[in-house]
Chain A
Amino acid sequence: MTDRAIGGKGAPVQLDKVSFSYDETPLAFDVAFAAARITAIMGPSGSGKSTLLNLIAGFETPRAGRVLIGGADVGGEPPAARPVSMVFQENNLFAHLRVEQNVGLGRSPSLHLTKTDHSAVAEALKRTGLAGKEKRLPRELSGGERQRVALARVLVRDRPVLLLDEPFASLGPALRDDMLDLVSGLHAERGMTVLFVTHQPEDARRIAQNVVFLDNGTVAATGTADDFFTGSGPPAFRRYIGASALSRDVARKRT
């Protein structure tokens, strides 16, 4: 496959004057994501973060505009044909299939695996810390382990773009840090382009090089993570961060 050939090098992702509407909420994105970087996508609920990823992955079809990956327009391609892997917040695994099968699906959608495929699966499971758990069913794993399986599948698929839609939101802080470090490690090895939707500023600060801030269905600001988190970030972003901190204080006083 062509994407395998690209594999190892991240591809730039661009949304060229993409507009979309869902339930009468108009969204408009015109933004480029640098290749081989980790970009955190932040913004209030309903600002269109997940929709942005869904447009890139091909789960949503733009009303107008182009989605470019590695310079090529992927608008007409179904999700599986795009050079993209995506990890969702939940339902990343088939509950009735074993860990190795769930990962193997990343190589062959009909689960016809060659010897090379099998060793790639075993390698990926080892890399994500799941060695010895190949035969387990998802329900026999912890929440963190399930997301590790999803990441192992990302490894065997080896696509130049990785989309993460709040995959660690339901994990505790320590576990989340472990997972972020794993993502950051995988990125260092493979150099794929990572777009990472998160609500947690500390997550973004931990692994992201760039930040794209969405508000009201459009891109409100872009910049480097350093700029965003050292106080020189755009005012809208500071309000978002500050307001959330403030509301937490109020909540604490009430209780």
Chain B
Amino acid sequence: MQRASDPRITAGIAALAAITLLIGGAFAGMLIEGAHDFSGAWAAFDPYLLRVVRFTLWQAVLSTLLSVVPALFVARALSRHPRFFGRAFILQLFAVPLALPAIVAALGILALYGRAGYFSGLFSIAGGQGWPGIYGLSGILVAHVFFNLPLGVRLFLEALQTIQADQWRLASQLGMGARPAFRLIEWPVLRAALPGVAGLVFMLCITSFTIVLTLGGGPAATTLEVGIYQALRFDFDPARAVALTLLQIALTFVVVLALMRLGANVVGDANLPVAPRRHLRVSGSEATLNAVLIVLALLFVAGPMAATVTAGLGADLGRLAGETAVRQATLTSAALAFLSALLSVMLSLALTMARRALALSRRTGPKTLLEHATDTGAGFVLVVPPIVIGAGWFLLLRHAGDVFAIAPVMVATVNAIMAMPFALRAVRSAYDAASERHERLCAQLGISGWARLWLIDWPSLRRPLATAFAFAMALSLGDLGVIALFGSDSVQTLPYLLLARMGSYRTQDAAGLALLLGVVCLALVLAADRLGRGMVVRD
């Protein structure tokens, strides 16, 4: 009764309404366009479209296989050696791709394996002819594996750490060698984690935009997302854009549904595992094999990062810093990322508070639809990739005047929503724990509304909110999704400028910008991690 008027629930409803408006507007745009030109949308389902769908799926399957299978063995190798010099460093390094903007990684990969990359001489000699560079399917695969192999390793390692120390003691007492130990102890755990990890990687690969745009290098290697972008920005073929968008939504919807059935962690950030003490005897030959595996994975992951740094330092950083376009883009990026992070954190907090308030007032019995929406609703955001939302609004607004004028709003809002699954994770547990301690006391003393937010909740939420904020800001800073659609000469972000410099073959400039962007994003994510780890519940 009295709880129904809880301002926290009102805030949650407002947040849900904002999210619905953003996604609903995109759908409205598509529906209106589709209804307007139905035959055109229908005609867009041509052999070209079929080829795009086939390539989207094909590259995702290959990327998943190439990421997940090696990740299994690298994770196992790392778990077999819980203590060696540099292990913690390797795990930290494997967390970096999560923080690195895709366009920065793409440039690093080009700097290493591209036609004019550091390895091109070596490859030319080996191949006996000029190295053609890594564009196309091979480039996409390398980039996807660069991102998803470390993610897979961390997730699998987390799964392996759940094996209890007793089991290992038992295994060594029974004299189990590496092979039976793998079959009887490690494989069951890995197999249980496998569908979730593979599903997550597959999902990331079919919605990957930046990698395919920058490394695909042509119509032969186009995915649905890049197809949408090309249809809107180059061919101006709205009917085709609608068809592609609908297919993309259907595809991601099926995959997310499958993922949920598998119980996968859709956000995909593994906690840094702490290796437990363990009684393990690893034979010399196995140790060698493990070492080779770990070093190979390390080189593969560290290579593009190192190339980003060296290529970036090779650029004329002083001149870049002086350029008006760069300064302007940096300012725009910073402002938009700041707004986006702020919005993301506010929406997440509102949903978290509403969810808790609803759960408290319900006590027992089934959840209401509203509580479900505040609970898992945010996860559905992942079904609709940013490009799709952008495309929908692009179509909706093109009749209403200047589409590009709306760019800042689109970039800030869409990125805010994309960061929400991460932000929610950071905020929710802290808020629920604080509420556990304070709820009755607040009810008793009549502390509610702003007084409660400021006096009671803010002190315990400061750190998790800062974590969420830094992470959301990093995600938004590095994003080249919505801005690719809406960017123009008047509104440019750093990733957009980077793409433009790449497009005009000013590789040095691009490398310098990539270094700048990479360092800033990494610093933000490190800050987020630091803030998050310092979280201690005091009483």
Contacts and interface: CB of A to CB of B under 8 A. Distances in A.
B460 to A, nearest CB: 7
Interface stretch (A37-45, A88-96, A203-211, A243-251): A88-96
A57 B444 contact: yes
Nearest to B459: A96
Nearest to A90: B539
Interface in B415-456: 437-438, 440-441, 443-448, 450-452, 455-456
Contacts of B441: 88, 91-94
A79 B447 contact: no
A88 B440 contact: yes
A80 B452 CA distance: 13
B443 A61 contact: no
Nearest to A107: B445
Nearest to A91: B437
B174 interface: no
Nearest to A139: B538
A22 B364 contact: yes
Contacts of B437: 91, 95
B39 interface: no
Contacts of B400: none
Interface residues of B, number: 23
A171 interface: no
A78 B443 contact: yes
A contact residues, range = 20 to 34
A59 B2 CA distance: 11
A111 interface: yes
Contacts of A138: 539
A95 B455 contact: no
Contact of A110 (B2, B451, B459): B451
Nearest to B448: A109
B395 to A, nearest CB: 48
Contacts of A95: 437, 538-539
B1 interface: yes
B173 to A, nearest CB: 34
Contact of B364 (A23, A76, A77, A109): A23
Nearest to B5: A78
A97 interface: yes
Contacts of B459: 96
Nearest to A92: B441
Given A79-B444, A95-B539, A61 B1 contact: yes
Nearest to B462: A96
A91 B434 CA distance: 11
A81 interface: yes
A109 B538 contact: no
Contacts of B448: 109
A94 B456 contact: yes
A58 B440 CA distance: 10
B435 to A, nearest CB: 11
Interface of B: 1-2, 363-364, 437-438, 440-441, 443-448, 450-452, 455-456, 459-460, 538-539
| Nearest 6 CB-CB pairings of A with B | A80-B446, A110-B451, A96-B459, A78-B2, A109-B447, A79-B443
14 contacts: A61-B1, A76-B1, A80-B443, A80-B446, A80-B447, A85-B444, A93-B441, A94-B438, A94-B456, A95-B539, A109-B446, A109-B452, A138-B539, A139-B538
